[in-house]
Amino acid sequence: MLSVAGKALRVSGCLKNARSMATVVSGNKTSKLVRERLQKEVCKMQELEPGFRPGLVVLQVGDRSDSNLYISMKLKAAAEIGIDARHIRLPNTASEDEVLHNIQSINEDARVHGLIVQLPLDSIRPIDSGRVTDAVSPHKDVDGLSSINAGKLSRGDLKNCFIPCTPNGCMELISQTGVSVAGKHAVVVGRSKIVGAPMHDLLLWNHATVTTCHSQTSNLAEQVGRADILVVGAGKPEMVRGEWVKEGAVVIDCGINYVADETKPGGTRVVGDVHYPTANQRASFITPVPGGVGPMTVAMLMKNTVQSAWRFLQSQR
């Protein structure tokens, strides 16, 4: 935590070199609070409808080890909250039609309130991932990746769509800092459909002025230096240097990268897209990697599933 003297320096603007390092915004701690809140919501559902449980299905194609790890994390979180989660794995020989048939079957199952298709699709046959994600019912698309949910988000219809989990988790972490998004200049580095593009929309509709940077941005350091709130999801290890960061900025690092490190047992260590050792000397708040955005992504998936279950219950009353 920042010392009282450090806070006073920030307010006065004096003795800039004497300021404390950034306050770490823990995704582990925040996600735990979210899971505890969701657990209570599930209990309320069961008081209203005895025996009811939110239902989640994770559909996987193939047997990638990294996908298996992510799925196990999701199933564990669901079990803790009281969500009935099922894992359906199709072989790596599955065709696009087989995947679409499974999705249609799950769409029609009233016991399932959330469906996620684990990406990438690990099949030896060609499968259009866009067609697959768009086949998921928008009412069960708790990953928020379908064109319908993306379109609603882009036009500001936040209360009638599912927000992609990583950007939603980023907003939760920003809220933990106590810094208001409204009126701030936010910079998003990266424009992926999963992180960068929806992050831009989410910040915009929460009243920030938003700049999106990408691989064709020619003056990246200059753009980053303007950010009161900086969200980085570029997929390049430690690309954003600390000296680029505006003094006092909120820095949210969505990156997960493995770099060589002979001092570690496995020969690698995990770093983000921001150079943490230098950025934390200029930022006011910063997320660590690991233990920052990652746990929040899973927590927001659970939040969307519980939200979908509430919508289902309300539609039945």
C-alpha to C-alpha distance for 243 and 278, rounded to whole angstroms: 7
| Amino acid at residue number 136 | V
C-alpha to C-alpha distance for 262 and 242, rounded to whole angstroms: 24
Phi first, then psi: give them for residue 259, nearest 5 degrees.
-120, 155
Specify the residue for token string 């990406």.
Answer: 119
Concerning whether 40 is annotated as a catalytic residue, the answer is no
C-alpha to C-alpha distance for 221 and 213, rounded to whole angstroms: 10
C-alpha to C-alpha distance for 273 and 244, rounded to whole angstroms: 13
* Beta strands 268-271; 257-260: pairing state: antiparallel
Q: Of these residues, 16, 40, 44, 74, which one is catalytic?
A: 74
- Tokens representing 186 are 């936010």
Longest dimension (CA), the chain: 64
Residues with catalytic annotation?
74
